[in-house]
Amino acid sequence: MSMQVTVLQGSIQETAADLIIVNLFEGVTEPGGATGVVDKALGGRLSALIALGDARGGLGQTTLLHTFGALPSPRVLVVGLGDRAHFGLAAVRTAAAAAVAAARQTGARRVATIVHGTGAGGLAPAEAAQAVVEASLMEAYVMPRQASGAGPKPGIEELVLVEWSQESVEAVADGARVGRIIAESALFARDLAAAPSNVATPTYLVEAARGMAAASGLACTVLEREDIEALGMGILLAVAKGSDEPPKFVILEHNRERAGELDTVVLVGKGVTFDTGGYTLKVESKATMWKMKGDMAGAADVMAALRAAALLDLPLHVVGLTPLCENMINGKAQKPGDVYRGMTGKTMEVISTDAEGRMILADALAYAGRYQKARAVIDLATLTATIGLALGPRAAGLFTPDAWLQDRLLAASAATGERLWPMPMYDDYAQDIASEFADVKNSTMPDKAAGVSTSAKFLQHFTEGYPWAHIDLANMAWAPAARPMYPKGATAFGVRLLIQFLRDWVH
């Protein structure tokens, strides 16, 4: 059940809830503002805990107090905001996530919180409210399970943002609305990426896209196998040959009817709903091959970003392209040494059937060329295991020959905390994927050196006439351990980043 979010004008200490949340900066000895009022109502018990060192205000640290009738709420949770000198929206998100996680452990159903950072923190009410709601909903997420027993214990049903200033209530409500749209869009992507691949087939994702598009006002076009064949997408079809599941190609559009007057941005997402590696079987990762159900995370992210663009009514023409298929093995499956021709007319030699993601993206990027006035084309993909060797679970790799596009994406990354790190796109890498039998080969195997950059260079080979960036998020799509806002499992990394990029474009 989705958490309800409401905004209330009033005082946190007078709010009836199962638990109220206030905050504390690190190093504060006498709490002020709403926290100070609550402390006085409790007879200075928070001040006593501060003096004892039990409440220090470290970022994300929580302290629970019981009110024993002194306030309408039976519980008060104090969350640390960290060092005031380094405070910002990132700290708000961390604090809000930590507070929600702690509140959920108490069994509270109705939780009220002040909007962290709008008082002494000096943040704009709308931005702070957005950060609180975004972090709270994303932290409270529980992955779907197909289990016969009892599900997880009930979570928080309602989050109430309490704003004392009448002048700021409207801005807080607007920020809360934006935060909810963004978070729920990301959760839509998480649900898709977490679902088992026998459920989340290409056909299932098509139906999810259609339902979401109808609910949010997007145009949705689905290309079937015969349509894909007619377009000459032989490289995409080569990957799909080994599966009984038919390939699909989903086109989502926001503001399609205004394409002639608005800037066009195209988002492309890899949608391999399960990747065995094909005949180049994933032997080295057989213990974790189950995670390949999430090899469509890029496609899920793109669908989610289009949902948010529509619900936020951004004045842009945004197009989402998601090629969907499985990479399986049968008597018709692609083989190392095969050569296929794609939509651009260029040919590709298969060296590794496990380099299938770049293959389906090659034809999707070719299709993006149909939007001749595209101001930017960005693809997202769980493309290479080696990006994790380069960056660890800390940042996704960013590849682009366009400096201005890189700057915009890095700005969105800094604003959201979804980190990107620029990777090289040297012309020399094109030599590494030169083929004796085709225009290009899809892998440098058995030599894995520079695998992330040569994969990006392969994609660039199929881009024609538009600014382009590639984001390799293979190391970020699944969290092996929980961190603030990202519980263990599917992360939907990239959704908030893309939405910020689109919002920045029009502001």
What whole-number distance in Å separates Cα of residue 214 and Cα of residue 38? Answer: 46
Catalytic residue, from 40, 210, 256, 282: name it: 282
Q: Residue 226 has which token pair? A: 């015969």
Residues 6+ apart with CB under 8 A from 89: 117, 123, 127, 128, 131, 415
Catalytic residue, from 358, 441, 457, 496: name it: 358
What whole-number distance in Å separates Cα of residue 49 and Cα of residue 186? Answer: 38
Q: Is the peptide bond preceding residue 196 cis, with omega within 30 degrees of 0?
A: no
Identify the three-state secondary structure at position 11. coil
Q: Residue 257 has which token pair? A: 């009817």
Whether 358 is catalytic is yes
Cα 413–Cα 414–Cα 419 angle in degrees, nearest 5: 50
- The amino acid present at 418, given as its one-letter code, is E
What whole-number distance in Å separates Cα of residue 261 and Cα of residue 323? Answer: 27
Whether 488 is catalytic is no
- Residue 505: which of 368, 378, 345 has the closest Cα? 378
Give the rounded distance of the alpha carbon of 184 from its chain centre.
11
Rounded to the nearest 5 percent, the helix, strand and coil shares of the chain are 40, 20, 40
Q: Residue 198 has which token pair? A: 């026998």
The catalytic residues are 282, 358
